[in-house]
Structure 1
Amino acid sequence: MQHQQQNGGIQPDHVQVQDQQQDQQQVLEHTQQKAGEAIVSEAKDASVVPAGFEGPEKILEIDFNPSMGKSLREVNRETWDAILDLARCQILSKMSNEFLDAYVLSESSLFVYSHKVFIKTCGTTTLLRCLPLLLKVAESRGLELQWIGYTRKNFIFPDDQEFPHSSFAQEIEYTKKCRGPQGGALNGGAYILGDLLADHWYVYVADYCGDANQSSERNVNIMMYDLDIDVCQGFYRQPELDLEADAQRAAYEVAKINDLCGPDAIVDDRMFEPCGYSLNALQDESFYTLHVTPEPEYSYASFETNLEISDYTDLLTKTLRAFRPKRFAITMFADEAALEKIRQCPTQLTSVAAGCTYRRETQSTTSIRADYACRMSVYVMENQTSSS
């Protein structure tokens, strides 16, 4: 596995002069948008101390018609900075391969394909605020919108969130006001998976694909809570590790990344001060992303990938052995054509053996139109038999 150095692999954007002028104009308009949203923002009193760090992420995926328009990978850095500024996060580093660009953010990750964007942000970021500008940038590049998906788990500290993330109803209302195809409002559906009194998952999808999609794409997300205390300690900056690279290597080994990502994956990671860890990995067209919040009072880690394999049991087991959570939730979002290629869907396991036994508490599934499935299961530790 190749380890990407911080800021390594950042290449200058090569775009035509016309594209640069369009991007510059959109950056200027972003300033006006940001000022306008500040007026309506339900910002919290700066003197109020947050209850804790919100590990569970907000996730936004936008897909465009792959046969139309100019590649999103040609959008310049200034424009991406403007987009992410609206979400209240910043780019820390970038790496690329033949198929996509991966950015480690101050709060999670951004992945950019030629005709798809995947953004995942944690904390009190305002992810949906970047949607109008992102859609405008795509429109200026001749891209045709096919699909928007916004998802998140219920928050640990919902009262700390800011507009438009104070509630799922507010998120839906904000999203539907964004400009969709032909200038109309986005027209999507809202869904909830799981127990509303416990772990549950919110889903909003606007689907403009038309006919049933034969894509094999899927995303698997493992969200782990109450991590083993010894594991948590591995994601604090240790005094004896003076160099940032040494701290990152220590966290990398605690997370057992070599077991979780493929041997040919390239990796870009970041150790935060005084604690916390983020990692992106790329392997051909697939990405892996890991984020760890190690504070014992609200410890959390997520591991997500769009890797296309037929059985995720081994990957799930290795992830649980690395972090040893007391409970976890797993989601799979996939086209029906992708589900047909999966021999063992991870959300259908009644129990998981990973050094200890995890028993499934709830299982939820919903289908959107005829070709897209959302599945979620929640598991709790039943009995500890081994710490390895």
Structure 2
Amino acid sequence: MFFEGSEKKVEVLVHNDNFSLLTDINDEFWAELVNCCHAKILSSISNEQCKAFLLSESSLFVWHSSFLILTCGETNLVNSVEYFIQQLGVDKIKHLTYQRKNEYFSHAQPSCFGDDIKQLSQYIDGTAMRFGAMDSHHNFVFHQNNGFQASAEDKTYEIFAYQISEQASKHLTREGVNSADIRQFLRLEELVPGFQIDDFTFEPYGYSVNAILAGKYLTIHVTPQADSSYVSFASNLNLIELLPIILAVLKPASLDVLSNNELEFEALTKANIPSNYISQSLVQQSLTTGSVINFANYILPKQHFSQAVILDVNANNHAL
């Protein structure tokens, strides 16, 4: 079974004078927004500063003045952005960032990044960039050009782990595995002590978790199948400092690290990524918003020959 774990991601900040996304927009609106990209809401948790929706394909977080949505699989996230704009008006948007990772099965997607940007550009003027080499791991980022200046305190982090260890893959795909077991395996209590947790274990494989504490959040999405294993982490917690735990658990053959506005990126990665991981890509770019995006891809070099993978010519063509 193959599943596209790589996410598309949108972060929208709004002008919130006498207006709150958290208290003035009802759950039916968010359910329809999610439905527009062909996903659905499974559950939610909330506090006074944030509401977190667990989706059939990833997550949605809503604060008073912003929202963040990530979707995986064969979703068309740009349709949800268009719904938001059409319902509330483009003038309501203070700033928008759209991000999309390289996929395992890009040919199975309903659109590519170029298609998405053409659709967004009907409403928003912006700049598109690629972080990382086209023939390797990379992230596309489109951000609005409207004079917005980001706060120096607005920092976000993402970790993308590929080809997790055989031990981790077997543990996460074994029969009868449940959410409590996966929380313990991922060492969630160490990653987010005291956080409110909402998680879901998918059939036959897969796991998603949202964690919130005041305005802080962490979301993790696990696609554990050995042939296309992928685990993503997104947070406004410093995930680079948490990498020793993440790498000890998953032992991935490759990982991407992406940060927004983390000025100590080089020192942090050097301190927290073992020396046996070698960087293949290092990209740093200042945006018109005043923020800085850093992207790095690391691999564990192969020391020995492996055997070719035998394919089933009659199987789903996503794998061929």
TM band (smaller chain): 0.7 to 0.9
Q: 1:109 aligns with which of 22, 34, 59?
A: 59
Q: Does residue 175 of the first structure (1) align with residue 112 of the second (2)?
A: no
Distance 2:302 2:131 in 1: 26
> Aligned partners of 2:21, 2:225: CA distance in 1, in Å?
40
* From 146, 159, 179, the counterpart of 1:208: 146
Alignment of 1:214-363 (within 5 A): 214-236=151-173, 238-239=175-176, 247-261=178-192, 263-307=193-237, 312-334=239-261, 339=262, 344-345=264-265, 349-350=269-270, 352-354=272-274, 357-363=276-282
Report the AA paired with residue 89 of structure 1: A
Paired residues, what number? 303
State the Cα distance separating 1:228 from its structure 2 match: 0.8
Match of 2:100 in 1: 152
Question: Shift in Å at residue 359 of structure 1?
Answer: 1.6
1:194 counterpart = 2:95: no
- The Cα of 1:383 is off from its aligned counterpart by 7.9
Contact 1:146 1:207 in 2 (8 A): no
Secondary structure of residue in 2 paired with 1:169? helix
- After superposition, what is the alpha-carbon deviation per residue over 1:203-226, rounded to whole angstroms, capped at 9, x for unaligned? 00014354x333411110000000
Q: Is the 8 A contact 2:22 2:50 kept in 1?
A: no
Q: 1:79 maps to what in 2?
A: 29
For residue 297 of structure 1, give the secondary structure of its aligned residue in structure 2: helix
Q: 1:209 and 1:55 mapped to 2: Cα distance?
A: 34
Residue 350 of structure 1 contacts residue 359 of structure 1 at CA under 8 Å; is this kept in 2?
Answer: no
**Quick one: distance in 2 between partners of 1:257 and 1:283?**
14
How far off is 1:351 after superposition? 7.7
User: Scaled by the length of structure 1, what TM-score is found?
Assistant: 0.73
How many percent identity over aligned positions? 26
Q: CA deviation at 1:317?
A: 1.6
Q: CA deviation at 1:260?
A: 1.5
Larger deviation, residues 370-379 vs 196-205:
370-379
> Shift of residue 230 of structure 1?
1.3
Distance in 1, Cα, partners of 2:268 & 2:114? 29
CA deviations on 1:211-269 (whole Å, 9 max, x unpaired) are x3334111100000000111112223624x6xxxxx110111111111221x2211111
**TM-score, normalised with respect to structure 2:** 0.88
CA distance in 1, matches of 2:267, 2:130: 16
Alignment map for 1:91-110 (pairs within 5 Å) = 91-110=41-60
Kept in 2: contact 1:221–1:331 (CA 8 A): yes
Partner of 2:292: 373
d(CA) in 2 for partners of 1:238, 1:85: 31
Distance 1:56 1:353 in 2: 22
Tell me, which stretches of 5 or more residues in structure 1 are unaligned? 1-50, 178-184, 242-246
In the TM superposition, residue 190 of structure 1 has moved relative to its aligned partner by: 0.5
The answer to whether the 8 Å contact 1:109/1:280 transfers is: yes
Give unpaired runs (5+ residues) of structure 2: 304-320
